[in-house]
Amino acid sequence: MFGWKKKVDKAAWAEAIYQKKIMRPENEPDEKLSKLTTFMLEQHHRIILESVQIALSTKNVDTRKGRVDLSRQHYQEMLKLKPFCNKEQLAMIRDAEIAMKQL
Largest CA distance in the chain: 52
pLDDT digits (tens, 9 = 90+) for 41-85: 999 999 999 999 999 999 999 999 999 999 999 999 999 999 999
Share of residues in the chain with pLDDT > 90 (%): 92
- How many other C-beta atoms can be found within 10 angstroms of the C-beta atom of residue 39? 11
Helix, strand, coil abundance in the chain, percent, nearest 5: 75, 0, 25
Q: How many domains in the chain?
A: 1
pTM (2 decimals)?
0.91
Domain-embedded: residue 56: yes
Domain-embedded: residue 48: yes
Domain-embedded: residue 54: yes
What residues make up the domain containing 83? Answer: 34-100
d(CA 68, CA 56): 9
pLDDT digits (tens, 9 = 90+) for 26-44: 999 999 999 999 999 999 9
Tell me the average pLDDT of the chain: 94
Domain-embedded: residue 15: no
Domain-embedded: residue 19: no
d(CA 66, CA 93): 21
